[in-house]
Amino acid sequence: MIDFHCHLDLYPDPHSVLREIVRRGCSVLAVTTTPLAIDGTKRLIGSAPHVRVGLGLHPELVATRAREVERFCELVESADFVGEIGLDGSPPHKASLALQRDVFRTILQRTALLGGRVMSVHSRGAAREVLEDLGRFGGASTAVLHWFSGSLRELECANESGCWFSVGPSMLKTEKGRNLAGHMPADRVLTETDGPFTRVGNSPLFPWDVADAEATLGRLWSVDESEARARVRENLRSLMKRGALERRGNGRSSA
C-alpha cells in the first residue's frame, strides 16, 4: 500500500505508526510542514524501508514562517523529495496568498535550478494559481497534486501539463472528489491519507487506511481492489524513476 502524503511526524505516537508501516510493508512519503522538521523526521524514520521524507513549507504556515524559505533553499539540494508546499486560497489563508506565491515561486525556482524534484503540492482554493506558477517556475520538477479540489477545467489543465495526483479516503468520500478522480489519468494517480489531519470518527487516518481509496479507485477504473493496488504500485515505480533522473540533474531545463 502507498501513502504518498502523510504527516508522519505529527501523529501523537509516530514511532508506533512507523513500526506498523514497516510491518505492513507500506510505502510512505512523510511530508513536513516546515524545513525545521526535516532532521527530526529523518531521525524518526531511520533506516525504515520504503519510507521517504519530503522537505516542506506548508502554505498555511507561510503567514508566520515565510522567512524559513531561506532554510528550505539551503536544504533542498540534499532533499530527495519536496513537500508539502503549494498555495492555499481558502478564506482563512487568502490574506497571505501574495506572500505564499512569493515563497512558492522561490521554492520552485530553486528546485528547478537543481534539476527538479518530485513534489507533493497543496492547491486548495488556488488551483489556477498553482498551475500558473508550476508552468512558469516549475522547470522539470514533477508535481503530485495532493487532494486536488479544483474544477474539471483546472484538472484538464493539470493533466495537460503532466501533473500527477494523490487521492485519499477523505477526498473520495465526496461525489465531487470521485468525479475528479475519475477524470485523472490512471497512470499518474497515487494514494494518500494526509493523516493525521484526516479522521474517521475520532481516530486519525493511518497510511494503511489507503485501502479504502484503492477500493474506490477500483470502482472508478472498473477493476478489482487488488488490481487497483497493483496499478498504483506500478505508478509509484514509474514516478520514482522520474525522480531519480531529476535528482541527478538530467531533468535540468535550459531556462
- Which residue number, 100 or 139, has a Cβ lying nearer to Mn ion? 100
The minimum distance between CB 5 and Mn ion, in angstroms, equals 6
- Cβ(123)–Cβ(144) under 8 Å? no
By CB under 5 A, is residue 9 in contact with Mn ion?
Answer: no
- Minimal distance in Å, beta carbon 143 to Mn ion? 15
3 is an interface residue for Mn ion by CB under 5 A: no
Task: Give the shortest CB-56-to-Mn ion separation in angstroms.
Answer: 9
Piece of 79-87, 88-96, 108-116, 177-185 that binds Mn ion (CB under 5 A): 79-87
Q: How far is the CB of 192 from Mn ion (least distance, A)?
A: 8
Nearest residue by C-beta to Mn ion? 194
Report yes or no: 123 and 101 within 8 Å, Cβ to Cβ: no
| CA-based radius of gyration for the chain | 17
Peptide bond connecting 84 to the previous residue in cis, omega within 30 degrees of 0: yes
Nearest distance from residue 209's CB to Mn ion, in Å? 15
Query: What's the grid cell of residue 87?
Result: 498555495
Number of residues that bind Mn ion (CB under 5 A): 2
Q: Give the C-alpha separation, 34 to 85, whole Å.
A: 9
The cell numbers describing 75, all together, are: 536544504
Q: Which is nearer to Mn ion, 10 or 223 (CB)?
A: 10
CA 6, CA 210: separation in Å to the nearest integer? 11
User: Counting contacts by CB under 5 A, is residue 192 touching Mn ion?
Assistant: no
Q: Is 178 exposed, middle or buried (0-12, 13-18, 19+ CB in 10 A)?
A: middle
The yes or no reply on residue 194 touching Mn ion (CB under 5 A) is yes
Please tell me the distance from the alpha carbon of residue 181 to that of residue 167, in angstroms, as a whole number: 7
> Of the two residues 55 and 140, which places its CB atom closer to Mn ion in the complex?
55
| Residue 147 to residue 195: CA distance in whole angstroms | 12
Q: Are 197 and 204 in contact (CB under 8 A)?
A: yes
Please identify, among the stretches 103-111, 148-156, 172-180, 186-194, the one whose residues bind Mn ion according to the rule CB under 5 A: 186-194
Stretch that binds Mn ion, among 77-85, 92-100, 102-110, 183-191 (CB under 5 A): 77-85
Among the listed residues 130, 145, 127, the one whose alpha carbon sits nearest the alpha carbon of residue 190 = 145
Binding mask 83-122 for Mn ion (x = CB under 5 A): -x--------------------------------------
Give the interface with Mn ion as residue ranges (CB under 5 A).
Answer: 84, 194
